[in-house]
A = this chain, B = another copy of it.
């Protein structure tokens, strides 16, 4: 089973990398652009067909390694 994990910074956490991308694109002429925030993305393949077990396993991976829960949120999607 294939799972997509999207990790984003929490709303109140500053994102200097996103700001650099934002200003660069604005300087390139994208006038309607108002905000960009950067995150991480993982595509995970698991040898398991039970959707509940997969979700539980991936949730545990996010908590233990992939996401920093103090500053980041994560979202798990079966794809």
Residues of A at under 8 Å CB distance from B? 4, 6-8, 18, 21, 24-25, 28, 30, 32-48, 57, 60-61, 64-66
- Alpha-carbon distance A30/B54, docked complex (angstroms): 11
Are B39 and A43 touching (Cβ within 8 A)? yes
A60 contact set on B, CB distance < 8 A: 30
Specify the main secondary structure of chain A where it touches its partner: strand
Residue of B nearest to A35 (CB): B45
Are A28 and B64 touching (Cβ within 8 A)? yes
- Alpha-carbon distance A37/B32, docked complex (angstroms): 32
A64 contact set on B, CB distance < 8 A: 28
Residue of B nearest to A7 (CB): B41
